[in-house]
Amino acid sequence: MQPWFLPMDVFVEIRRILPNVHLSKMRYHFEDYGCLRCSSRDALYGSNGLCERCSVLIRGRVKSVLKRRLKNVGVVDSEYDFSAALGDGMTSARSLLRELTSRRSAAGRKSK
């Protein structure tokens, strides 16, 4: 199985050396058998062989256990951005959309 829930910079380094089929195998599992957790076949695909709903649930659980354990040992403070550390797709998408929106706004101002 592929490494799950890695920080984006680590994922990018691993991704560069892996063939595409390696990353697609969890998607193929989802298409053939459904979600790894709930076995749903009619849900939208989320990631890592999980439907969207289960992917959000598991990512939230991982965030919670990391936050609690790392806080208990004093590795990070309570304000640490775990969403970015887990490679949250929503955070990445928002960042990309923010950049696109600002570019469009800038281009619109230049054309006036």
At which residue do the structure tokens 């989802």 appear? 30
pLDDT the model gives residue 8: 81
Question: Quick check: 58 pLDDT over 90?
Answer: yes
Question: Quick check: 79 pLDDT over 60?
Answer: no
At 94, list the tokens.
Answer: 């928002």
5-28 pLDDT tens trace = 678 888 888 888 888 888 789 999
Question: Could you tell me which residues are beta bridge partners of residue 47?
Answer: 50
At which residue do the structure tokens 């101002």 appear? 109
pLDDT the model gives residue 87: 55
- Closest by CA position to 66, among listed 58, 97, 109: 58
80-110 pLDDT tens trace = 565 555 555 556 566 656 766 776 666 666 6
- Closest by CA position to 47, among listed 38, 39, 35: 35
> What pTM did the predictor assign?
0.57
Span 25-52, average pLDDT? 94
Q: For the chain, what are the domain ranges?
A: 8-111
Tell me the three state secondary structure of residue 46.
Answer: strand
CB 50 within 8 A of CB 37: yes
Q: Which amino acid is at 46?
A: G
